Amino acid sequence: MLKSVESSPKNPPTLIFTGATAALRGGAKLSSFATAKFALRALSQSLAREFGPQGVHVSHAIIDGIIDTEGTKDMLKDTGADAKISVENIADSYWYLVSIPQGKRKP
């Protein structure tokens, strides 16, 4: 990734980690999930501090909710179309993170 920093100045290399609110606070009966998400957040912060100054953009996105995929098609069927998070909307948000100009990024 470091080698591509100079070759792609418009869209520098970007790592996006997907977390959840459990990365910020644990919940009852979610200790395993919270532990994993806390660790993912710490990893993304460490990588951002290490590689951010060298031009690699590292983000930790909190995505809370059920993502609308084939594997979740039977979940929340009776709650309406807006009950799940669209894969396309997540992708649009992630593309926005990738396309933030270098000078506008905050560590």
What CATH number does residue 41 fall under?
Answer: 3.40.50.720
pLDDT at 5: 78
76 domain-assigned: yes
Residue with tokens 């869209």: 11
CB 38 within 8 A of CB 22: yes
* Cβ–Cβ under 8 Å, residues 76 and 83: yes
Note the pLDDT tens digit of each residue in 74-103.
Answer: 887 766 667 888 999 999 999 998 887 766
pLDDT in tens, the chain (107 residues): 888 777 766 777 899 999 999 999 999 999 999 999 999 999 999 999 999 999 899 999 999 888 888 888 888 776 666 788 899 999 999 999 888 776 655 55
Instruction: For residue 38, give its domain range.
Output: 13-101
Residue 87 counted as domain residue:
yes
In a domain, 89, yes or no: yes
Q: Is residue 4 part of a domain?
A: no
Instruction: Provide the strand spans (E) within the chain.
Output: 14-19, 57-62, 67-68, 85-86
pLDDT of residue 84: 86
pTM of the predicted structure, to 2 decimals: 0.80
Residue 8 belongs to a domain:
no
In a domain, 5, yes or no: no
Rg of the chain over Cα atoms, rounded to whole angstroms, equals: 16
Q: Is residue 6 part of a domain?
A: no
* Number of domains comprising the chain: 1
